[in-house]
Structures are given as structure tokens and as C-alpha cells.
Chains A and B, each alone.
Chain A
Amino acid sequence: MKVGGLRQSLELCQFDLRGPEPSDGILANISRILASQKSNIAFLTYKTNKDKRCQLSFCLNQDQSPRASKILNQGLQLPPVWEMKSREHVGMITVFPRHSALIILGAVLASWGAQSIPIYGIATSLSAVSFTTDYRIMDKAVVAVQDSLQLPGNRAPIKPELHYYQSEVKKRDKV
């Protein structure tokens, strides 16, 4: 299976929340809390079942982990039946383009499973398939993907060289 390339993320942290869907919507609540802290969500998956139980997983930059944990614990006031777990040292590998996403998914699941590389989450986007795993073994995970998919010969995985922050400064502040 030929693909266009791979991209690696910076180090992330991942939060996983599970429980019955609150009436006011967990997605809106959490995204509002994170936006109020100017925290960018690098990756998010959400699914609610027919019995109204849901799971929400999302990744933030690793440097936001302690603050986000504190704020989510204080601000969410989840019912006791809810479970919130966080894990640090998470990395994301994105394979693009995503046409034949099922084949890419199958190849990565097979190769990572065979090498005991953990899979924390998967999401497709407009042009790619992203997988979250243990940041500390990203190089091994990348090699496994390279061995199972056909990448252009001269194209190395893209590693992040820029760390973007959105400034709090607005145009009117400068006037």
C-alpha cells in the first residue's frame, strides 16, 4: 500500500473520560473549559452509545498536562460514576493521504500489534489517519509503519520543528 508520508507530533498527554452522557453535554463543557485556558486540542475522539454511555478522549501538548488536570478536576464536577484517566508521554503519528483508510488502519494495527506497540486512539481527518501511542517508543512505531506501508523512497517522516502557540495579543491591544 503506497502512502504519501508520515508526520510525528510533539509530546502530548491524553485524557480519557467515560460515563453516562450528562444532560448538558460533556463535549461542549470540556471544550469550553479548555478554550478558556487557551489549550489547543491536538486530537479528539468522541462516541456515545445507544445506552447513552459515552467516551471522550483528547490530547493536549504535554506541557499543558498538570494545568489541564487541575482545571478539569475543578471545573468539570463530573458525577461520581464518571471515570477520568490521564496519561503522559503520548505521541501521534499521522499517515497521509487517507484514501484507503481501512487498509492503512489494518496495516498499522497488524504491525503495531505484532510488536506490542500500544494504540491509545485513532481518528481520520480530511486527508490523513492519526494514531496515538507511547511517545517514548515513537521511533519504533514509525519504523513499524514504514515497514508495513510503502513510503516514497526519499521522504523521511516529518518531525515537528515549530511549536505554535496562539498569542493572547489581539490587534486592538496593539493600538
Chain B
Amino acid sequence: MMETIAVYWEQPIKTYGFQMVTDLVLVAFSYPLKEITSLGRILSRDALQEVKSEFIIAQESGDTISITLCLSERDYRDFWVSVAEAPGSTPCEYTYPVGIIYFHGPHFGDRYGIAEATFSTLTQANIEIVASGCSASSVFVVLAQDDIARAENVLSHTFEVAK
């Protein structure tokens, strides 16, 4: 295994820009892991081919997995009609409206301090983080819709948008 030491001299941290999506429904539900194959088959159905999810995370917790998605209102209805019939599905948590702010940057996945810069900035601005997912070089944050513009404003002071 070759080890490469990367050195970044950025101050502030550069990003390729902030993207926002609003008017979304946050859907969260838990599902028994022993039935996960059934859920997988339902999600693979043709009926859900057109459903577009802007954000998906899942967290394992003992015997269950909690799945959180952000969908448009219309897609939410189609989605939940399918998933509600799955064996063992719990009632879903429904939050509307929420928005997503997401961004990525050079080697975000290989560098420390990106999450700290994001979450400290939002916490210091008293912006409540509803959900988040960070993987590869992306940071996704789900917020109450009313907080999205303010989040972009404060994050723009922490990060520099590359020209």
C-alpha cells in the first residue's frame, strides 16, 4: 500500500459551490433487518423508477435499520404507498417543508476538518441540523426550509467558493 501525504494550504477551505433544494418532504421510518430483502425488492420495483430522492441515509440500530429520505411531495405519496405495504414497516415520520444544502470540494473525502467547519458554523449560528450525510467528497445537510438561506450565508463565510 502506497501512502501519500497531501498538503493543503487553503485558508479558508475551498468548495465548488453551494447547491440548495427546497420544498422537500423528509421521510423517516424503521425496518426490521430480518425483512430487509422484502424492502429491497419493493424499492427495486418499476413503480418507483421515477421517484427521485435528493438525499438518503440509513442507520443500523440493533435489529432495525432507520432509513431517511428527502423527496418531493408527489414522490413521497408514490413512495409511501409502496413501502407501507412492506412487512414490518413502521409508521413514517413526515416533516415538511425541509431543504437541503450540499456542497463538495477537492479531496473532501481525504481531509480532516471539513465536517468541523460545517457543523460548528451551523451550530454557532443556532441553525438546527435535522439530518446529514457525508461520504465521498460531498457534504449534505437537511434543515428546516426557513434556515436554508441563512445556512448558505454563514457557510459562505466559512468556505470560499472556487472561481
| Interface of chain A: mostly helix, strand, loop or mixed | mixed
A109 within 8 A of B: yes
The reply to whether A44 and B135 form a contact with Cβ atoms under 8 Å apart is yes
The reply to whether A40 and B136 form a contact with Cβ atoms under 8 Å apart is no
The reply to whether A42 and B133 form a contact with Cβ atoms under 8 Å apart is no
A106 within 8 A of B: yes
Q: Mark B109-145, 1 if CB is under 8 A from A, else 0.
A: 1111111101110111000111111111110100000
Q: Which residue of B lies closest to A120 (CB)?
A: B60
The reply to whether B56 and A129 form a contact with Cβ atoms under 8 Å apart is yes
Question: Closest CB of chain B to A92's CB: distance in Å?
Answer: 8
Which of B28, B68, B130, B135 is most buried by chain A, counting CB atoms within 10 A of its CB? B135
The reply to whether A166 and B28 form a contact with Cβ atoms under 8 Å apart is no
| Interface of chain B: mostly helix, strand, loop or mixed | mixed
The listed residue (B49, B59, B93) touching A100 by CB distance below 8 A is B49
Q: Mark A116-131, 1 if CB is under 8 A from B, else 0.
A: 0011111111111110
Say whether, besides A110-B37, A113-B40, A124-B140, A164 and B120 are in contact (CB < 8 Å). Answer: no
Number of interface residues of A (CB under 8 A): 67
A155 to B40, CA, bound (A): 25
> Which residues on the B side are within 8 Å of A124 (C-beta)?
53, 55-57, 133, 135, 140
The reply to whether A55 and B131 form a contact with Cβ atoms under 8 Å apart is no
B51 within 8 A of A: yes
Q: Which residue of A lies closest to B45 (CB)?
A: A106
Which residues of B does A touch, CB under 8 Å?
1-9, 28, 33, 35-37, 39-45, 48-49, 51-53, 55-61, 65-69, 79, 93, 95, 102, 104, 107, 109-116, 118-120, 122-124, 128-138, 140
Which residues of A does B touch, CB under 8 Å?
1, 16, 18, 24-25, 27-28, 31-32, 34-35, 37-50, 55, 57, 92, 94, 100-103, 105-114, 118-130, 160-167, 169-171
